[in-house]
Amino acid sequence: MTERVVLAYSGGLDTSVAIPYLAEKTGAEVIAVAVDVGQGGEDMAVIRQRAIDCGAVESEVIDARDEFAADYCLPAIRANALYMDRYPLVSALSRPLIVKHLVAAARKHGGTIVSHGCTGKGNDQVRFEVGLGALAPELKVVAPARDFAWTRDKAIAYAEEKGLPIDVSAKSPYSIDQNLWGRAVETGFLEDIWNGPIEDVYSYTANPAEPRDADEVVITFDAGVPVAIDGETVTPFQAVAELNRRAGAQGIGRLDMVEDRLVGIKSREVYEAPGAIALITAHQELEAVTVERDVARFKKSVDQRWAELAYDGLWFSPLKASLDAFIDDTQKYVSGEVRLTLHAGRAVVTGRRSESSLYDFGMATYDTGDTFDQSLAKGFVQLWGLPSRMAAARDARLGGPSA
């Protein structure tokens, strides 16, 4: 029986060329699986047909936009997930979802091999293969770009030789990955980290320097989940899509950074994530109002580790599952509204309110109505500083560092 390869298919140059190439190299039939995670830009039916035209024996297109928003973007909001305190995991969040559907397709079609278009330099090879190892360790993996030293210029020449229906030339300046959560751009002139990004790089965001009126938006959360925008009920997908539109129109969510890749090299990346940045900004502020101090302090380290696990391809790891349980518990009171002003590339919080708020006006005010008993403060300060005073006295007595 002929083996079958299930290919993670994007419709672009690398994965289109991979279809006939994999068939030649492995002698297997190729099944192309394209997962719609809100990348837009091209009709998924066209992508499906392109896979067939390139030689796939089967081609599936899976609409996973709502699933991506609810099961991957939403946890990232609740975790305030920003890798290196900046990057909202645009590509990293989509990979475990794609892996899940690749495994399902392999079992459906009798596939024994899974293939992807990742190189040996990137993070995505790890995200795909570690995920596959967790969900279906029996599947073999073939990565043409990595395993067969398949370079971009070779892929272009091969596509022209085979007459494949792909509109890509050697002059294409960037490598782009995009989905509902954002857009990632790299390579080309951006590889010189002194070169500033030009306006042509961007697609999800307008130029923040252009004059325009500010946009005010109120986001309602229920247990850490965005459930309404300006009073209109939304699904997670609708929340991200609407904030992509409105925050993007104000130039919010542009990032230009040198990040630490999992494989050990540094890489210059340009990102656009307007909805992600707006939603995380609002969620962080509501947590500041509703989450108790020590929980909030500890959650910052959990959020950072959560982002690192997602970035590093460990979505299906035991630690990630445990952190999910902690984060879920912290969100039970993260309900209320946050008002943002979107303008000139920034999402600025201007108001917040919650029935579960820990902010007490009577305790906080310095005016009439103050309920804080200041007579208690003197003893508190003395006891709070007692260990430091005792250590300082010891150091002075023994000629230590504070003497």
Distance (Å) of CA 72 to CA 236, 343, 368 = 10, 27, 47
Q: What span, in angstroms and rounded, lies between the C-alpha atoms of 167 and 213?
A: 39
What DSSP element (H or E) covers 306?
Answer: helix 293-311
Furthest-apart CA atoms within the chain: distance in Å: 85
DSSP tag of 195? S
Structural contact between residues 37 and 180, judged by C-beta atoms closer than 8 angstroms: yes
Q: Establish whether 207 is an annotated binding residue.
A: no
Active-site entry in 4, 78, 95, 246: 95
271 is in an annotated binding site: yes
Report whether 9 belongs to an annotated binding site. yes
| Residue 78 marked ligand-binding | no
Residue 87 labelled as part of a binding site: yes
d(Cα 41, Cα 332) in Å, to the nearest integer?
37
Report whether 175 belongs to an annotated binding site. yes
Catalytic residue flag (residue 167): no
Quickly count helices (H) and strands (E) in the chain.
Answer: 15, 14
Name, in order, each residue with C-beta under 8 angstroms of 37's C-beta and a sequence gap of 6 or more. Answer: 64, 65, 68, 94, 97, 98, 179, 180
To the question of whether residue 8 is assigned a binding role by annotation, the answer is yes
Q: Would you say 14 is a known binding-site residue?
A: yes
115 annotated among ligand-binding-site residues? no
Identity at 142, one-letter amino acid code: V
| 36 assigned ligand-binding residue | no
Please pick, among 66, 71, 146, 175, the residue that the annotation labels catalytic.
175
Nearest CA-CA partner of 116 in 30, 52, 36:
30
The answer to whether 95 is a known catalytic residue is yes
Q: Which candidate in 4, 115, 124, 352 is catalytic? A: 124
Other C-beta atoms lying within 10 Å of the C-beta of residue 197: 15
Catalytic residue among 14, 78, 254, 267: 14
> Tokens in use for 299?
């959650």
In our burial notation (b when 16+ CB lie closer than 10 A, e otherwise), range 23-40 reads: bebbebbbbbbbbbbbbe
Report residue 219 as tokens.
């986001």
Q: 267 labelled as ligand-binding? A: no
124: annotated binding-site residue?
yes
Active site residue 124: yes
3-state secondary structure of 340: strand
Q: Is 317 designated active site?
A: no
> Any binding-site annotation on 373?
no
Helices (H), 143-273: 144-147, 152-162, 236-248
> Is 248 annotated among the ligand-binding residues?
no
| Residue 294 assigned as binding residue | no
174 is in an annotated binding site: no
Q: Is 259 annotated as a binding residue?
A: yes
Which two three-digit tokens encode residue 201? 């790089």
Q: Are 339 and 228 in contact (CB under 8 A)?
A: no
- Indicate the annotated binding residues for ATP: 8-16, 117
- Indicate the annotated binding residues for L-citrulline: 87, 123, 127, 175, 259, 271
- Indicate the annotated binding residues for L-aspartate: 119, 123-124
Catalytic residues, by residue number, are: 14, 95, 124, 175
- Indicate the annotated binding residues: 8-16, 87, 117, 119, 123-124, 127, 175, 259, 271
